Amino acid sequence: MLLIKGGYLMDPSSGREGKADVLISDDGKISKICTVIDETKLPDADLIKIIDADGFIVTAGLIDGHVHFRDPGQTYKEDIITGAASAAKGGYTSVIMMGNTIPAMDDPKTLRYALEKGAKTGIHVYVCGNVTKGMEGKELTDMEALKDAGAVLFSDDGKPVIEEKLMIEACKRSARLHKVISLHEENPEYIKENGVNSGNAAQSLGLTGSDRMAEITMVKRDIEIAKETGCTLTIQHISTKEAVDLIREAKEQNIPVCAEATPHHFSLTDEAVIRYGTLAKMNPPLRKESDRMAIIKGLKDRTIDVIATDHAPHSIEEKKKDFKDAPSGIIGLETAFSLGLRELVNPGYLTLMELIERMSIDAARIYNIPGGCLKEGKEADIMIFNPDESYVVPSKFASKACNSPFIGQTLPGVIKYTISSGKVVYSSEQ
């Protein structure tokens, strides 16, 4: 058994908070939550492992609905084992892998490979199935077979589904299967070079960049498709204020559309490209301060449902290429919660409980997966952190990659323990 003593409990599923002890049984479930648990009166008291959480906050393990672990196919960047270790270090107990792997997640065999390897990591690794075969946007996958193999959602993340009739049929099928389609919304007609917002930042590199209409036009189209088909859509890594407004209007009309925001899109603007170069290159690109603030407002009023990292590891050699040739994306699992504290909680935009909700229970609800709660009888997926301690982001991560613009910055909030199914999968003391 494991006993967490003296922590300040915050349960995002119920809003409960206060000093409490948490007892975890050998089956990995929470067996008791009480103000004080006297371990000397428990059976086999001498075998109980105790975590002293005095001064720390005990809450649900984080859930990320959007990560890239590059496995199979590009494991020099990351693999499922190192990706999961990075997640655990960041307080995550559940992640959903995107399917732009090699081969793509368009057949049951590839899904089963990822799930079997994920089961060995200590955290909960879920997978998506692709919307189209090979992510080529030409032919739909066998969504039913992918669901039966374990897909918890469908996505061609990294590419938009351009063909409207194909998208409509995909949504109809997904709605029948009661699964969400998660969408990368960038219309290539509006993109000269990807990874940088059109404007001053692009011009400083001698580029034209990606116009904001690339996102706006796709979001507008797919809201109409969601309205027509009844399929729940998640708009990934939203980057423009106009798209936030479109999502807000859709929700007011009860259209089944959700949205996610990344820590980099609520923390940085396109000025970061001038400072950090390829370490700030991502799709969709960082935009303007007005866009950043619109994303924060959307997180506050629940227009944007979840915070997802879009953890996108690349090698040092790849990121050292010229801006135009370097791949887009940054890692994010190990800094996401701290950026939420710095950019959202400390300035007063979100309460701490709201941040935890956006990073745990809200994703569990959308994708219908377990987690995000601290209740007796439930799986013991727990994050313990010190909100008053800070750290300097190192150049070496649990991830294989180090493509982050936040290296060297001082961030608040230190993850002390991550517990998945009752087992400690990360400890800052190790």
> Distance between CA 237 and CA 261 in Å, rounded?
5
CB atoms within 10 A of CB 73: 13
Which two tokens mark 285?
Answer: 């690109």
Q: How are beta strands 306-307 and 382-392 bridged, if at all?
A: unpaired
> Distance between CA 160 and CA 156 in Å, rounded?
7
Q: Are 356 and 374 in contact (CB under 8 A)?
A: no
H helices within 80-127, ranges in order? 80-89, 108-118
**What does each C-alpha distance from 307 to 31, 60, 236, 316, 426 come to in angstroms?**
29, 15, 10, 26, 21
Q: Are 236 and 182 in contact (CB under 8 A)?
A: yes
Which two tokens mark 160?
Answer: 């938009």
The DSSP result for 161-216, as a single string, is: ---HHHHHHHHHHHHHTT--EEE----GGGBSSTTSBTTHHHHHTT---B-THHHH
Active site residue ranges:
310
**What does each C-alpha distance from 171 to 131, 343, 381 come to in angstroms?**
9, 35, 32
> Distance between CA 46 and CA 206 in Å, rounded?
67
The amino acid at 30? I
Which two tokens mark 158?
Answer: 């990294």
For tokens 């994920």, what's the residue? Answer: 118
The amino acid at 268? L
H-run or E-run covering 5 = strand 2-11
Q: Are 325 and 281 in contact (CB under 8 A)?
A: no
Which two tokens mark 363?
Answer: 């994703």
> Distance between CA 283 and CA 330 in Å, rounded?
10
For tokens 């690349």, what's the residue? Answer: 314
